[in-house]
Structure 1
Amino acid sequence: MTKIFNFSPSEFAFGYAGCKRCYYDQKVNNIKVSLPFPSVFSKLDILQKNFYHDKSSDLLGGKIASGVIKTDYSRTQKSKILQDNKGRKFQLKGRIDAYVKHKDSFSIIDFKVTDIDEKKIDTYATQLLAYAIMFDQPDEGFLKLNPIIDLGIFCFEPDTMVDHQNAPNFKMKTQFYLIERDDKRMFEFITTVIDLLEGKSPTSKEKCSICKVRGII
């Protein structure tokens, strides 16, 4: 039976971009060391989605065409089975934060609670590019968005704390970064990832805390 590689778009920024040894062991040897994910981020995610749902995309800073932000698509999306540049099969599965419904097109947006820095474009580009492919080439029975004209990350950075009726309230700085859609780049990236997974176990990233816990560096 032909192997099908399964990828979640978020694993590229939070897995592959980190320690290649940890990523390889997780994908190939099913070895995973999970670190606690603060529940406050899940709460922020819900608040962000509730706040922006059905609002104008002009709130994102005017860098994409006007439209309506939709944050209520909570189903895990799945692409059809695709092939990398070497003919190896793979499938993308994951959830998006939001998409924008324009008059005759769509954009996909990801919310990030993070420091505002233009370098975030490079960090999260593959995640957004994967989302575009998932919705442009969905598996049967899944939502299709076409054409997808823009991709972007909307960053939230805590700025100041203000008094509101004797209670502390955070104020957030926000910044939208546009990511150019480039399917060719994404398929080249997937090919590189599968090359890694079909090769020998890579060396650990220097100072990888998880590899230290595992005792392999």
Structure 2
Amino acid sequence: VRPTAAQRRQADIAEGIIKLSPSSLTFLHDECPACFWHHYNGRPRPATAFPKVFGALDNAQKDFFVGHSTKDIKKSLPAGVIERGKRVRSEAIALPGTSYRVQFAGETDTILNFSRAGYGVCDFKTSSPGEGASELYGRQLLAYAIALERPSGDALPLAPVSRLGLICFPPDDMIELPTRAVKPAAKSRAATPAALKRYAYRTSAVWVEVERNDEAFLNFVANAVKLITRPTMPRSAPNCGWCRWSRMTAPLLEQTSSDALAHLSTDAA
């Protein structure tokens, strides 16, 4: 029988290696300690639905900028080329103050391949650069940087990772594009091609530098690992909607389970 995700996580913990998703070190960690603990101990909360429009915008941004010069993002960046991201997995990394080691695994958004300055890791964001964004997303970017520099197995390291940052695309305004003639469908009764009006959002690329501090980051990860490996669940955040819903529905689920077992026992008799 194939082990469940929870069983695999518990086996990893028993071996002293904690496998972390870099993305879990951002919102999930900060929103609720209990949900973060459950994510690695068998009852992860359902993923929030991600609006398709943001995925479409993200893909459009990558399709446009991949292959472009890094100077097109910010003139002060080292010369190089913007490349698509890749799946990464780090070797087991020692942590301060704990015997556990950590392994980062995930997929980078974009990689900057500098001509003479190593590499950069960046993330595309369809938003204005908000206060605290560099610190929050910096954890994720630094985890990717470590995984690129110290990959597991025989993967080729990409080192050094000299720059981390966010590329933000805040919508400025909307413009109308030249019309484009569109031929009607075969079954259409239209006698002439229709003119399709086209619009576009105008934006600019804003580079947000993320400072790299490996010592502070690994101390943060060590504290996160101590939270994950607690024998009992920590207190949930007061405003965590998922925890409130879980507490409200737990008695109902237990009663439903008891009724189902009683029904099975009656049928068996």
| TM-score of the pair, normalised by structure 2 | 0.74
* Residue 210 (structure 2) aligns with: 179
- Is residue 88 from structure 1 mapped to residue 100 from structure 2 by the alignment? yes
1:216 is displaced (CA, Å) by 5.9
Aligned residues: 215
- Larger Rg computed on CA atoms: 2
Superimposed CA distance per residue, residues 87-137 of structure 1 (whole angstroms, 9 cap, x where no aligned partner): 312210011111111123111111112332242111211111111100010
For residue 129 of structure 1, what is the aligned residue in structure 2? 142
Residue by residue, what CA displacement relative to the aligned partner does 1:129-161 show, whole Å, maximum 9, x if unpaired? 111100010112324111111111111222211
Aligned letter for 2:244?
K
Given candidates 77, 85, 101, the residue that maps to 1:64 is 77
Question: Residue in 2 aligned with 1:42?
Answer: 55
Alignment counterpart, residue 222 of structure 2, candidates 176, 191, 214: 191
Mapping 1:106-185, distance limit 5 Å: 106-165=119-178, 166-185=197-216
Larger relative helix fraction: 2
Query: Counterpart in 2 of 1:53?
Result: 66
* Cα separation, partners in 2 of 1:192 and 1:63, compared to 1, 3 Å: farther
Determine the C-alpha separation between the residues in 2 that align with 1:184 and 1:80: 17
- Flag structure 2 segments of 5+ consecutive residues without an equivalent: 1-13, 179-196, 250-269
What SS class does the counterpart of residue 34 from structure 1 fall into? Answer: coil
Decide which of 199, 207, 210 is 2:239's aligned counterpart: 207
> Does 2:115 match 1:103?
yes
**Could you say if the C-alpha distance between residues 167 and 33 of structure 1 is closer, same or farther in structure 2, counting changes exceeding 3 Å?**
same
Question: Contact 1:84/1:188 (CA < 8 Å) preserved in 2?
Answer: yes
Distance 1:209 1:63, change over 3 A: farther
Indicate how the Cα distance of structure 1 residues 109 and 208 shifts in structure 2: closer, same or farther if over 3 A, else same. Answer: same
Q: Normalization by structure 1: what TM-score?
A: 0.91
State the structure with bigger RCO (CA 8 A, min sep 6), 1 or 2.
Answer: 1
Instruction: Please tell me the root mean square deviation across aligned C-alpha atoms, in Å.
Output: 1.9
Contact 1:63 1:178 in 2 (8 A): no
Query: Per the alignment, in what secondary structure is the counterpart of residue 215 of structure 1?
Result: helix
Tell me, yes or no, if the aligned pair for 1:70 and 1:101 is still in contact at 8 Å.
yes
Whole-Å separation in 2 of the counterparts to 1:149 and 1:206: 39
2-structure distance, mates of 1:36, 1:7 = 21
> Is the Cα–Cα contact under 8 Å of residues 63 and 176 in structure 1 kept in the other structure?
no
Whole-angstrom CA distance in 1 between matches of 2:234 and 2:171: 37
Contact 2:16 2:99 in 1 (8 A): no
Distance in structure 2 (CA, Å) of the matches to 1:161 and 1:207: 37
Q: What residue is the counterpart of 1:77 in the other structure? A: 88
**Alpha-carbon distance between aligned partners in 2 of 1:3 and 1:82, rounded to the nearest angstrom:** 11
Q: In the alignment, is the contact (CA less than 8 A) between 1:118 and 1:177 conserved in 2?
A: no
State the SS of the aligned residue for 2:57.
helix
- Tell me the amino acid that sits aligned with residue 172 of structure 2: D
1:164-204 CA distance string (max 9 Å, x none): 12322112243111112221112111101011112232222
Q: Identity of paired residues, percent?
A: 26
